[in-house]
Amino acid sequence: MRTAFFSARRDEQPFYQGSSHPITFFETSLSAATAKLATDYPAVCLFVNDNANAEAIAALAAGGTKFIALRSAGFNHVDLQAAAHHGMVVGRVPAYSPYAVAEHAVALILALNRKLVRANARVHENNFLLDGLMGFDIHGRTVGVVGTGQIGSVFAGIMRGFGCRVLATDPFPQANLAVEYVSWQDLLTSSDIISLHCPLTPQTYHLVDDAAVDAMKPGAMLINTSRGGLVDALAAIRGLKTGQLGYLGLDVYEEEAGMFFADLSGSVLQDDVFARLLTLPNVLITGHQAFYTRQALENIASTTLQNITDFEATGSCTHLVKL
Ligand code: NAI
């Protein structure tokens, strides 16, 4: 099935070589303006910062697109109502490597705690002073996991391995997971480290706001590898300035679209909130790379291609996104 592949990075294209589906790779992301590129392609393949809003979907439908194959688990960037209105089917990759994302969350915790970025820069300058590099034992700390789905449950297991007490909150608790389920408020007040692993929905938008930051243990660490919109960045900055929030580790940022996955080193940073975050020594940001392991890319490609094959054969797919 002819597939228009948006936001194509060079490094991921080899995983799709040899597919029976003729794929055209477009480096540009999908928007209402670029949707015309997909004219006469019955399938489009999208990543997290493609904007499949109602306007883009209408333009895709006008060009003959019938299937949206998401190369992601999250689908908050697709207007599902608009897709349904145009009779379009949406498939996703529900699980490709929960380990990749959970391990990256742990990497952010360790790097923030032991100030690895600063320490490495210092050693490169022949400066071997320890001042300012003191961390804390993770063993014995209380970790709050927000969302114990595939990624959150793997993350919880890793943190238990560190010797942490693991609290969690989830509207659908898992019966056999070795965590203590508590309320959102109790998680905020009791955790030394809070890690977000729930989806972005209208209910979870700005889940971490001023009230949540104020309710945290003074000096707590917040990790977000889930979706940027879960955290009100201005509330986080306010907390970081007073020390109420001790550390912030982000792999996602609410306004990351148009910024992450691009080389903007020759241009002036336009986002003043992001610029403020970059000035804070206890903030560590990666550009939506938590998923980025070889195993995850292999799994994303095989599930995506299978979704396209299924849709071509049956008009549906196993990993359907339902409205
Ligand atoms: P999942 O669907 O397996 O688990 C999500 C869990 O969050 C579910 O158990 C759900 O009940 C829970 N949840 C929903 N609303 C909640 C709330 N208000 N409070 C607490 N829990 C709530 O999803 P999975 O695979 O674990 O992924 C989690 C998120 O990670 C995705 O939604 C996606 O946004 C993000 N992600 C980020 C990646 C990255 O590269 N940074 C890569 C893959 C996923």
Mutate which of 47, 108, 170, 251 for ligand 1? The one with the most ligand atoms within 8 Å of its CB, which is 170
Question: Is it the case that residue 151 has pLDDT exceeding 90?
Answer: yes
Q: Which amino acid does the sequence have at 54? A: A
Q: What is the largest CA-CA distance in the chain?
A: 64
Q: Does any ligand 1 atom lie closer than 6 A to the CB of residue 73?
A: yes
For 14-63, the pLDDT digits (tens) are 999 999 999 999 999 999 999 999 999 999 999 999 999 999 999 999 99
Q: Which amino acid does the sequence have at 83? A: A
Q: Which residue's alpha carbon is at the smallest distance from atom 9 of ligand 1?
A: 149
Contact assessment for residue 209 and residue 254, using Cβ atoms and an 8 Å cutoff: no
Question: Is it the case that residue 158 has pLDDT exceeding 90?
Answer: yes
Rounded to whole angstroms, the Cα distance separating 161 from 157 reads: 6
Angle at 292 between CA 48 and CA 53, to 5 degrees: 0
pTM of the model: 0.92
**Contacts of residue 24, Cβ cutoff 8 Å, sequence gap at least 6:** 2, 3, 4, 5, 41
Express as a percent the part of the chain with pLDDT over 70. 100
Q: Which amino acid does the sequence have at 176? A: N
Atom of ligand 1 nearest to the CA of 252: 41
- From residue 20, give the alpha-carbon distance in Å to each of 2, 98, 203, 305, 306: 10, 28, 40, 9, 11
Question: Is it the case that residue 112 has pLDDT exceeding 90?
Answer: yes
Q: Which residue's alpha carbon is at the smallest distance from atom 36 of ligand 1?
A: 226
Tokens of 131: 């001042």
Q: Which CATH class is domain 98-285?
A: alpha beta
**Contacts of residue 267, Cβ cutoff 8 Å, sequence gap at least 6:** none
For 160-169, the pLDDT digits (tens) are 999 999 999 9
Q: To the nearest 10°, the Cα dihedral for 83, 88, 94, 96?
A: -120
Considering 71, 92, 254, 256, which one is annotated as catalytic? 256
Q: Which residue has the tokens 């940001």?
A: 285
Q: Does any ligand 1 atom lie closer than 6 A to the CB of residue 149?
A: yes
Give me the pLDDT at residue 94, please. Answer: 92
Contact assessment for residue 226 and residue 254, using Cβ atoms and an 8 Å cutoff: no
Tokens of 34: 């670029």
Strand partners, 137: none
Rounded to whole angstroms, the Cα distance separating 194 from 216 reads: 9
Q: Which of 17, 50, 23 is nearest to 261 (CA)?
A: 50
Atom of ligand 1 nearest to the CA of 148: 9
For 221, list phi and psi in degrees, rounded to 5. -105, 135
Question: Is it the case that residue 2 has pLDDT exceeding 90?
Answer: yes
Mutate which of 185, 194, 196, 198 for ligand 1? The one with the most ligand atoms within 8 Å of its CB, which is 198
How far, in Å, is the centroid of ligand 1 from the Cα of 36? 32
Atom of ligand 1 nearest to the CA of 203: 18
Mutate which of 197, 206, 297 for ligand 1? The one with the most ligand atoms within 8 Å of its CB, which is 197
Express as a percent the part of the chain with pLDDT over 90. 98
Question: Is it the case that residue 5 has pLDDT exceeding 90?
Answer: yes
Tokens of 306: 């299978």
How far, in Å, is the centroid of ligand 1 from the Cα of 214? 24
Crossing angle of helices 98-113 and 150-161, in 10° steps, is: 50
Question: Is it the case that residue 323 has pLDDT exceeding 90?
Answer: no
Q: For CATH 3.40.50.720, list the domain ranges present in the chain.
A: 3-96+294-314, 98-285
Question: Is it the case that residue 278 has pLDDT exceeding 90?
Answer: yes
Helix or strand run (H / E) with residue 61: helix 54-62
85 carries an active-site annotation: no
Candidates 2.40.30.10, 3.40.50.920, 3.40.50.720, 3.40.190.10; CATH matching 3-96+294-314? 3.40.50.720
Rounded to whole angstroms, the Cα distance separating 98 from 95 reads: 7
Q: pLDDT confidence of 212, banded at 50, 70, 90?
A: very high
How far, in Å, is the centroid of ligand 1 from the Cα of 155? 12
Q: pLDDT confidence of 267, banded at 50, 70, 90?
A: very high
Give me the pLDDT at residue 134, please. Answer: 98
Contact assessment for residue 156 and residue 179, using Cβ atoms and an 8 Å cutoff: yes
Mean pLDDT, range 64-72, rounded to an integer:
97
Angle at 219 between CA 216 and CA 225, to 5 degrees: 70
Q: Which residue has the tokens 């970790």?
A: 143
Q: What is the mean pLDDT of the chain?
A: 97
Contact assessment for residue 53 and residue 68, using Cβ atoms and an 8 Å cutoff: no
Rounded to whole angstroms, the Cα distance separating 320 from 323 reads: 10
Q: Which residue has the tokens 């996703």?
A: 92
Q: Which residue's alpha carbon is at the smallest distance from atom 23 of ligand 1?
A: 149
Give me the pLDDT at residue 196, please. Answer: 98
124 carries an active-site annotation: no
Q: How many CB atoms lie within 10 A of CB 259?
A: 16
For 288-299, the pLDDT digits (tens) are 999 999 999 999
